[in-house]
Structure 1
Amino acid sequence: MSAQRLHLVQQHLCPGEKGGMEAVSSPLTTHVLDTASGLPARGLCLRLFRLGDCKQQWTELRKSYTNADGRCPGLLTPDQMKAGTYKLFFDTEGYWNKMGQTSFYPYVEVVFSITNEAQKFHVPLLLSPFSYTTYRGS
């Protein structure tokens, strides 16, 4: 990795850190790691959606940015948690552009179901310019 790229990754300011996610315990979290650099993906824009019951349209619940550790800890409050189908939209193109890179995937969408509102859900994303991996974490 070039020294300039490493500097960008380490020094990039996260737009969501000031006035961003509240520090409440959330039943839904995500963590994005930049596997090309081995560092958290700081400042990556993401959006959370829920699929509507009747209209079958996606409703945006939250827009945020990953923090310095690559996490978005407060995606949903316990009050907002309900059974249904959700989608996390990750703006990977925007992230890689900030890092001075191009990417094969302009975005990543992870669609998942929540059936038990009492459980916690963690949706990690491992990211490089030409691949990604996700799984249900703990």
Structure 2
Amino acid sequence: MTTLSTHVLDAALGRPASGLDVTLTGPGGTFIAAATTDADGRIAWAADVDPATYVLTFATGEWFAAAERDTFFPSVTLTFAPGSGHTHVALLLSPFAYTTYQGS
């Protein structure tokens, strides 16, 4: 089993993206969990994941709208395949661009 965490940073403002809703789905689109980033922009998912393909969907449109900011991306969907051990998926977010990487 693998543990999973997520970290979202608001790159435009240089701070964590707190209060961002994220959904985790598994193989075949099976819903696993939903969570909201904490004050540090992080989620430590309670569910362990097996090696397979998973999807994190970030509700960026709603999050930017709540802050009265425009965005080009109504959502960001990241598909990834964790290995063994811990998997960390990081998202650097701005209104008109994003970057992601596998963190530690």
C-alpha deviation, 1:28, in angstroms? 0.4
Determine the structure 2 residue equivalent to 1:104.
Answer: 72
C-alpha deviation, 1:115, in angstroms? 3.3
TM-score, normalising length: structure 2: 0.93
Structure 1 unaligned regions, length at least 5: 1-25, 52-56
Distance 1:136 1:68 in 2: 21
> Over aligned residue pairs, what C-alpha RMSD do you find?
1.2
- In the alignment, structure 1 residue 42 sits paired with structure 2 residue 18: yes
- Number of equivalences: 103
- In the alignment, structure 1 residue 29 sits paired with structure 2 residue 8: no
Distance 1:36 1:115 in 2: 31
- Deviation per CA, 1:60-105: give whole Å up to 9, x if none: 10011000000002x143xx32111000000000110011111001
Relative contact order higher in (CA < 8 Å, ≥ 6 apart): 2
Distance 1:121 1:134 in 2: 13
Structure with larger Rg: 1
**Percentage of identical aligned residues:** 41
Higher strand share: 2
Superposed structure 1 runs of 4+ greater than 2 Å apart: none
